[in-house]
């Protein structure tokens, strides 16, 4: 035995369960982590604690009766879920949506992106150990957006606002002035937040170069949304495959360079700014008119299948519907953003410390409601 071997401390890996009940797993997610002291050798994700069989439930409900259930998928951003599902049904049944409704949908979807990124950034910073301050600040801003949603649909969490062929009701008169005020305040808030956090030495040390997701891995795993764009993959469905009326708006797609936690975080902040740009344009151009196409309560799409995907705040959210010309879908499959983005977690955390595991996990921004469906 050489001296170095004698000097080296013999260590033994051990298994530690993170979750299903753990403050930082954003719900009931479980990671079986194999640790060597503080270093993570391997993790094994365990999902399914929140499985509610939502895809199967779709077969038991009418097309419009399934919309409230989509709220429960990614409960952080229900508007986007509504939108994706309605687009799929409209594609299947060939329904044309009125102009005003399209604008309202875009405004709601972008507001939802703002609200979602508020939570994403807040909880990510919370995961890096900032004791709830950014979290509370972000929630304060989200609250204002929630108030807007409350104004249009009377709900604060599960909006159920979109309908097949439009939206459930027109906005009240006081909505647009309130929106304008919030959009202005929001951009100020984002600048302030940026200023407070961009140069924070500890935050930089904790996030720069940590949890790098290489570009190739991101593409191979099918990662989408801010996580992919943080790795420099220029893939945003609003540009790549424009749906609704996104081709009419001017906005940029922020891209990261290295694909570390810091880049993902930056991409989200920039996306919030771009969302504000889209909202401002939509706010000015919004035409008058009906907000809902003349669609019967029981939609009976012709037999066939359709897949519609949107750029949800967390990434590509897809709905695949098969119709047998009855009032309920024959089969509904959801392409969950969070679950697919989670697949790269193992590659990202290997070799990092326990604290990084939580930070990297937080930087992916998942919702368990969507992972398990």
* Residue 203 is a binding residue for other proteins (CB under 8 A): yes
Kindly state the smallest distance separating residue 214's Cβ from other proteins, in Å. 13
Kindly state the smallest distance separating residue 162's Cβ from other proteins, in Å. 32
* Residue 136 is a binding residue for other proteins (CB under 8 A): yes
Could you tell me the sign of the dihedral formed by the alpha carbons of 196, 130, 200, 314, in that order? negative
* Residue 337 is a binding residue for other proteins (CB under 8 A): no
* Residue 320 is a binding residue for other proteins (CB under 8 A): no
Q: Are 136 and 146 in contact (CB under 8 A)?
A: no
Kindly state the smallest distance separating residue 132's Cβ from other proteins, in Å. 6
Longest Cα separation, the chain = 84
Of the two residues 96 and 140, which places its CB atom closer to other proteins in the complex? 140
* Residue 38 is a binding residue for other proteins (CB under 8 A): yes
Q: Are 327 and 300 in contact (CB under 8 A)?
A: yes
Q: Where are the alpha helices (DSSP H) in the chain?
A: 3-7, 54-59, 67-71, 78-93, 99-127, 133-153, 175-198, 201-207, 215-220, 225-230, 237-240, 261-285, 337-342, 345-349, 354-364, 368-372
Q: Distance between CA 209 and CA 197 in Å, rounded? A: 17
* Residue 282 is a binding residue for other proteins (CB under 8 A): no
Q: Are 76 and 119 in contact (CB under 8 A)?
A: yes
* Residue 39 is a binding residue for other proteins (CB under 8 A): yes
Q: Distance between CA 77 and CA 85 in Å, rounded? A: 13
- Residue of 3, 131, 188, 287 that binds other proteins (CB under 8 A): 131
Kindly state the smallest distance separating residue 63's Cβ from other proteins, in Å. 42
Go through 345-368 and write b for each residue having 16 or more CB atoms within 10 A of its CB, e for each that does not.
Answer: beebbeebeeebbbbbbbbbbbbb
- Residue of 130, 293, 322, 327 that binds other proteins (CB under 8 A): 130
Of the two residues 143 and 184, which places its CB atom closer to other proteins in the complex? 143
- Residue of 88, 164, 334, 358 that binds other proteins (CB under 8 A): 358
- Residue of 210, 218, 306, 312 that binds other proteins (CB under 8 A): 210
Q: Distance between CA 184 and CA 149 in Å, rounded? A: 17
Q: Are 311 and 238 in contact (CB under 8 A)?
A: yes
Label the pairing between strands 14-18 and 30-36: antiparallel
Q: Are 84 and 90 in contact (CB under 8 A)?
A: no
- Give the tokens for residue 221: 């795993």
How many residues touch other proteins (CB under 8 A)? 41
- Residue of 63, 85, 137, 193 that binds other proteins (CB under 8 A): 137
* Residue 351 is a binding residue for other proteins (CB under 8 A): yes
Kindly state the smallest distance separating residue 357's Cβ from other proteins, in Å. 8
Q: Are 52 and 373 in contact (CB under 8 A)?
A: yes
Go through the chain and tell me how many residues it has.
Answer: 373
Site for other proteins in 96-125 (CB under 8 A): 125
- Residue of 77, 81, 116, 128 that binds other proteins (CB under 8 A): 128
Q: Distance between CA 271 and CA 311 in Å, rounded? A: 12
* Residue 41 is a binding residue for other proteins (CB under 8 A): yes
- Residue of 74, 90, 110, 127 that binds other proteins (CB under 8 A): 127
Of the two residues 42 and 99, which places its CB atom closer to other proteins in the complex? 42
> Can you spell out the DSSP letters for 81-115?
HHHHHHHHHHHHHTPPPPHHHHHHHHHHHHHHHHH
- Residue of 48, 94, 154, 209 that binds other proteins (CB under 8 A): 209
- Residue of 51, 52, 56, 140 that binds other proteins (CB under 8 A): 140
- Residue of 160, 168, 169, 200 that binds other proteins (CB under 8 A): 200
Q: Which residue has the tokens 């953003």?
A: 337
Of the two residues 29 and 103, which places its CB atom closer to other proteins in the complex? 29
- Residue of 46, 283, 293, 354 that binds other proteins (CB under 8 A): 354
Applying CB under 8 A, which residues contact other proteins?
A: 14, 16, 22-24, 36-42, 125-133, 136-137, 140, 200-203, 205-206, 209-210, 350-358
């Amino acid at each position: 035995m050489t001296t170095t071997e004698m000097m080296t401390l013999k260590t033994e890996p051990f298994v530690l369960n993170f979750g299903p009940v753990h403050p930082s797993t954003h719900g009931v997610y479980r990671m079986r982590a194999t640790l060597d002291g503080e270093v993570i050798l391997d993790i094994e994700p365990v999902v399914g604690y929140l499985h509610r069989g939502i895809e199967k439930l779709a077969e038991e409900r009418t097309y419009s009766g399934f919309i409230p259930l989509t709220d429960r998928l990614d409960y952080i951003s229900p508007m986007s879920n509504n939108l994706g599902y309605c687009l799929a049904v409209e594609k299947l049944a060939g329904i044309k949506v009125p102009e005003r409704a399209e604008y309202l949908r875009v405004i709601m979807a972008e507001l939802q992106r703002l609200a979602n990124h508020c939570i994403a950034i807040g909880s990510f910073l919370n995961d890096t150990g900032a004791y709830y301050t950014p979290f509370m600040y972000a929630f304060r801003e989200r609250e204002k957006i929630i108030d807007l949603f409350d104004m249009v649909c009377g709900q604060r969490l599960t909006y159920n606002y979109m309908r097949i062929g439009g939206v459930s009701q027109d906005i009240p008169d006081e909505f647009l002035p309130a929106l304008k005020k919030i959009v202005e305040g929001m951009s100020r808030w984002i600048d302030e937040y940026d200023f407070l956090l961009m140069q924070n030495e500890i935050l930089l040390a904790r996030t720069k170069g940590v949890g790098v997701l290489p570009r190739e891995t991101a593409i191979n795993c099918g990662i989408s949304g801010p996580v992919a764009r943080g790795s420099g993959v220029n893939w945003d469905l609003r540009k790549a495959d424009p749906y609704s009326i996104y081709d009419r708006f001017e906005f940029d797609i922020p891209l990261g360079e290295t694909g570390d936690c810091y880049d993902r975080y930056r991409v989200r902040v920039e996306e919030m700014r771009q969302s504000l740009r889209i909202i401002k344009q939509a706010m000015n151009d919004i035409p008058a008119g009906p907000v809902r196409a003349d669609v019967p309560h029981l939609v009976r799409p012709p037999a066939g299948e359709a897949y519609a995907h949107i750029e949800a705040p967390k990434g590509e959210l897809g709905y695949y519907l098969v119709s047998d010309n009855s009032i309920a879908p024959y089969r509904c499959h959801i392409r969950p953003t969070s679950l697919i983005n989670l697949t790269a977690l193992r590659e990202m955390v290997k070799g990092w410390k326990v604290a990084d595991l939580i930070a990297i996990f937080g930087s992916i921004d998942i919702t368990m409601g969507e992972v398990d469906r």
